[in-house]
Amino acid sequence: MKSKFLFLLLFVSSFCFSQSVNDYVAVLVPVKYEFLKSENQYRLNTLTKFNLKKAGFEAFYTNEAIPKEYDRCSMLNVDVSTESGFMVTKLFITFKDCYDKVIFKSEIGKSREKEFDVAYAEALNLAFESVYALHYKFSGATVANNQKAAIASPAIVPVATTAVAVNVSGNTDSDGANVLFAQPIKNGFQLVDNTPKVVMKVYKTTNPSIYLATKETLQGVLISKDNQWFFEYYEKETLMSEKIAVKF
C-alpha cells in the first residue's frame, strides 16, 4: 500500500508547471490592506482596481459578486504591502494564486511626499509601472485548464469506478451525489457533509487541481477532471476512482 501511495505522490509531483499572470482570467482586490487601519483607506484599494483595469486585467473586489463561470483558482489575488524606510514611503504589489503562491512581485514604488494620501498614491502608481511592463493579455487557457490537460495525458492503469452515496436531502449535485463542503485546515481542507461530519481531509500540492487525500483508512489523491473531482486510491492492486461532489 505504501508503495502505491508513493506512486500517486510522484504522479502528483510530475504536474508542476510554470505559471504567469497571462494564465489568469481576473484579479481579486481586497477591500482592506493589512498595513492600513480601515477599508479603502487613502483610496488605495480603489486605486489598485483602477490600475489593474488600466493594465488590461479584469478586476473584482473580494466582496463583489463574481461571475459563476470563474473558478477561484483561475483568478489571482492582489496585495499591496509596505516596506520600512526613513522619510520615504515604499509600496510593492504581489499577485498570488489561490494557494498563496507568489506569481509576480512588482518593483518597489517610492515617494517622499509628506502627506500620507499623496505619498501612498504616488508610491502605488510607481509600483504599478512594473505591472504595466508585463503587457498582460489573457492567454485564453486558465491554470486549471492547463492542469486538466496535463492530467489527461499520462496513462497509468485501468481504473475501476465506484459510486458515492446519494440521497442527502437538499445537498446533492445534478448526478445525485452527496455534496461535501470544504472547510479550511492547515495546509488544506476537511470535507464535511451536512450533519456535519468530516468525510475526508485533503492537503495542498503545487498543483491546484490535485490534493493528497485521506478517507478513513484510505490514502490517495483528489483530482479535478473535466470540472469534477475524483478520489483515486489503490485497493488490492487495483486503482479505484470515486467521484466526489465538493464545494470549495
pLDDT band at 49 (very low <50, low <70, confident <90, very high): very high
Answer whether residue 232 is part of any domain: yes
Structural domain containing residue 241: 2-17+144-247
3-state secondary structure of 190: strand
Same domain, 38 and 106: yes
pLDDT band at 149 (very low <50, low <70, confident <90, very high): very low
C-beta atoms surrounding 202 within 10 Å = 25
User: Half-sphere exposure (CA, 13 Å, Cβ side) for 88?
Assistant: 11
Q: How many domains does the chain have?
A: 2
Same domain, 66 and 39: yes
Of 97, 132, 167, the residue at which a domain comes to its end is 132
Report the range of poorest mean pLDDT among 24-28, 85-89, 93-97.
85-89
Position 15 scores a pLDDT of: 41
Of 77, 109, 132, the residue at which a domain comes to its end is 132
Of 132, 163, 193, the residue at which a domain comes to its end is 132
Reported as a single tens digit per residue, the pLDDT across 152-196 is 444 444 444 443 333 333 455 545 457 888 888 888 888 888 777
Whichever domain contains 82, its CATH number is 3.30.160
pLDDT band at 107 (very low <50, low <70, confident <90, very high): very high
Q: How would you classify the pairing of strands 159-162 and 238-247?
A: parallel
Angle at 29 between CA 52 and CA 147, to 5 degrees: 85
pLDDT above 70 for 11:
no
Same domain, 13 and 29: no
pTM over 0.75: no
